[in-house]
A and B are shown apart, each in its own frame.
Chain A
Amino acid sequence: QSALTQPASVSGSPGQSITISCTGTSSDVGDYNYVSWYQQHPGKAPKLMIYDVSNRPSGISNRFSGSKSGNTASLTISGLQAEDEADYYCISYTSISTWVFGGGTKLTVL
């Protein structure tokens, strides 16, 4: 199975909004609403931010939102804050009952 495609890096200024894309195929992202997103700070374990495309776990800021169109899922962070600077990963369920991660996106807050 091939990794989902994410941009290597994105950047934005404090207060702005950014969107990170996660592109798969009709056998994963396109066919299931089982995409989740994770934030990872250096040297730390990943943290769940969004599940089932657009649901936020308890305690996650509503500045984080998710969506999907066709084979591409997206994570949007509004009102960027310095603490949002981290790596972000998507993962999707697939048609062969496996899960596949995206390559990860480094978010820089300018």
Chain B
Amino acid sequence: QLQLQESGPGLVKSSETLSLACSVSGGSISSTNYYWGWIRQPPGKGLEWIGSKYSGSTYYNPSLKSRVTISVDTPKNQFSLKLSSVTAEDTAVYYCARHQKQWVGDAFDIWGQGTMVTVSS
């Protein structure tokens, strides 16, 4: 069964760029039925959708759009998140997830375990 695993630095300095990768195992990232997405959760708070991407189609949260880039690396079977100019407000657990397209059933059906990223000053 498909599994997702996030990786990347747990500590990022303020004003720098947060970079995370999500490795996909047990299935292909090339399937046309899915987007690949990122969601975050600040400590003690709720979930926030960051963005979702498949091939040439990319969708971002408007509040983060100017700072976010999601990329898909098909040969490596992984996708990545870059968030620039981070501040303490970007401190959160970051989850990668498989995002079913609407003809399959719009949902984030498989999630990684999450990785905590702290922004330090």
Contacts and interface: CB of A to CB of B under 8 A. Distances in A.
Contacts of B109: 48, 51, 57
B106 A46 contact: no
Given A51-B100, A104-B46, A36 B107 contact: yes
Nearest to B60: A98
B62 A93 contact: no
A103 B105 contact: no
B95 A99 contact: no
B46 A101 contact: yes
Contacts of B106: 34, 36, 51-52, 93
A64 interface: no
A48 B100 CA distance: 11
Given A101-B47, A101-B49, A55 B105 contact: yes
A52 B105 CA distance: 6
Interface residues of A, number: 26
A55 B109 CA distance: 12
A47 B111 CA distance: 8
A85 B106 CA distance: 25
Interface string B57-79: 00111110000000000000000
Nearest to B114: A45
Interface of A: 1, 3, 34, 36, 38, 40, 45-48, 51-52, 55, 57, 89, 91, 93, 96-104
Given A46-B108, A57-B109, A93-B106, 8 more contacts: A1-B63, A36-B106, A36-B107, A45-B113, A46-B111, A51-B105, A89-B47, A93-B102
